Amino acid sequence: MEALFQIGIFALLLGLGFIFGRRAEAKHYKSIFAREDALRGVIVSTDRFPPVEFMNHHSGLVSGNVVISVDYFKVVSAGLRGIVGGRIRSYETLLDRARREALLRMQEQAHAAGAEAIINTKIETSRISGNGNKGIASVEVLAYGTALIPQPAKTG
């Protein structure tokens, strides 16, 4: 009886994780695609030095970071994958979303500052673990770079 109860809770969590995780993921991707299109004008580059035409731009630090939680379904799925090995697909989409969201937030910040491009972009990922190895872990992705902001046209 107790075992049945435990299996029931497990299945419920799994189902909730799957339904809500899937919905959140679909919604997030939709938003990512839309915003990527909207911010395509803010060029993101990993070059360390600005091209010639940006030489007279101001520069400033811009960053964007995001924390995304794993859902129960992904944890169980990854746990099963951990036994046999191979690509953990359930985590791949998670990290892909986090990375793109962080870049978008960085672009949004740059856009707000009036920047035309961002150079020297770096991405860092760190794990925010829930008490040791237990609990549901989440992941933080930080993207940062140097925004190139055009100088206001000199008057007179």
Give the binding site for another protein (CB under 8 A): 18, 22, 36-37, 39-45, 47, 51-54, 73-74, 76-77, 80-81, 83-84, 87, 89-90, 92-93, 96, 117
CB proximity list for 69: less than 8 A, separation 6 or greater: 136, 137, 138
CB 142 within 8 Å of CB 104: no
Q: How far is the CB of 122 from another protein (least distance, A)?
A: 17
- Which helix (H) or strand (E) segment holds residue 23: the answer is helix 2-38
Nearer to another protein among residue 119 and residue 142 (C-beta): 119
Nearer to another protein among residue 16 and residue 155 (C-beta): 16
CB 25 within 8 Å of CB 97: yes
Nearer to another protein among residue 27 and residue 89 (C-beta): 89
